[in-house]
Structure 1
Amino acid sequence: MAVKLVRFGAPGTELPGLIDGEGRIRDLSGVLPDINGAALSPSSLARLRGLDPQTLPVVPAGTRLGAPLAGIGKIVCIGLNYADHAREANLPIPQEPIMFMKAQTAICGPNDAIVLPPGSEKTDWELELVIAIGTTARRVAVGDALGHVAGYLAGLDMSERYWQLERGGQWTKGKSFDTFAPIGPWLATADELRSPGELVMQLTVNGERMQDSHSANMIFSPAQIISYVSGVMTLEPGDLIFTGTPAGVGMGMTPPRYLRAGDRVDASIAGLGDQQHAVVAD
């Protein structure tokens, strides 16, 4: 049985859960302590697949959802992985994956507010398919790469372009502010999402469609990305890989359009749920 894993409750005190066949949250705290790297192991996931969700307590409707994964080790990101996004950024299509990192402290829940950094003038949106690693991957072949995936999530690689591009060329600086990595609402196990390269991706700002694309438009596939990154660094259970964004970001518009306090960002990836964010000032 495929599983959709969540974490629910107030920030900092989230409990593990899963989504049942009727879309209700079921409490997993009597089964495992949290959704973390250990919970993503093949044996742990097999145990979860064997559960009857009807035997688990129902979580009250409207309970806050946090980030569906705790104890994240590394957040590796792939830049310019859609040809249309590379073109709108006036950058060459990469010949091999471009890698950068985001800080773990940027993680937040799928409906939490996105907080603009003080003085922000160029905060931008990037909807991305996110890979969750379930078993250690070191120098793995492309053909073996997806065997190391525990599941997939929707994620936003929020980017303050001034800090990313005009403060010394360090992309990580513009992408690691608090709340700049919303993930969720759930982590779908790999058997729940058998075709990660065939997903509709959509994002709106204040109800206006900005991104409307498909994960099939990636330059480097999830398997290619995992193989490449694992040749540079060992990937461990609980690590995340953001796989790049399609066209439609604010930086690519004429004139560029960036987020302001009071804006609303709504995003979705087929099979991975919806995110809804208010944009607020720090």
Structure 2
Amino acid sequence: MMVEALDLVEKLRIRPGEQIRLSDRDPRDKCGLAAKEEAEALTRTCAQEIDTLQDHLYAEGRRALLVILQGTDTSGKDGTIRGVFNATGPLGVSVTAFRQPSEIELAHDYLWRVHAVCPRRGTIGIFNRSHYEEVLVAKVRGFAPKEEIEQRYEQINAFEKILVENGTTILKFMLHISKDEQAERLQERLDNPEKHWKFSAGDLDDRKHWDEFQEAYEIMLNRCSTPWAPWHVIPADRKWVRNAAIASIVKATLEAMDPRYPEVSWNPADFKIP
């Protein structure tokens, strides 16, 4: 039996004001999916429907969807993008990977580079990491004073509210993996020559701060899951569960947006192709 998207939303969404602990969330939860084959079939079906809905969104040209993927190293942000949006037309989708800020970006406020790449109307924008790095890495690594980090939660909430009030629907997914699963994926990058390019010694440095990052994620989830831009915690130890859950929620969100082809003011019968 296929899992219902509304059930997934109810299970995985963080309610505004809810105080959660990631240790209470099972990263190996199957989310009601009985088997890998079922999940992969669901993902493929959703991916095709997302493509159709995105075409409507593009033609309508009035609104946008922003999908934020946040998670520790190896949590599967790239894999999610390939698995969920591989069928979506490239003209209507943009992907932005947020890396270490450039000198020019550091000369502006921390949201300057984010606003510049938000999706334009009619498109889906995907953030691989995001402005939430400024309350995660910046917090754990001490890249900003504590008082500045403290201000950023409400600043981010206000920023996202501006986007929503101007026609952008926001979906935020925290890809939740276990420390053991991360170890296996990092080891695979060392063992497989085709994945050596993915490995970074910095991943091991961040791993030393696992507990601190988990705490920073909890604070982020508790303070920045809002009525207008809620967070979803996605069990990500099983890649097929991760993809199926996110694909289902994205599809259901687009269906609720109900984008439609615009009606034309002319009669097609008045024209004849010579």
Q: Same fold judged by TM-score > 0.5?
A: no
Where is the helix percentage greater, Structure 1 or Structure 2?
Answer: 2
Larger-Rg structure: 2
TM-score scaled to structure 1, two decimals? Answer: 0.30
Structure with larger RCO (C-alpha < 8 A, sep 6+)? 2
TM (normalized to structure 2)?
A: 0.30
Q: Which has more strand, going by share of residues?
A: 1
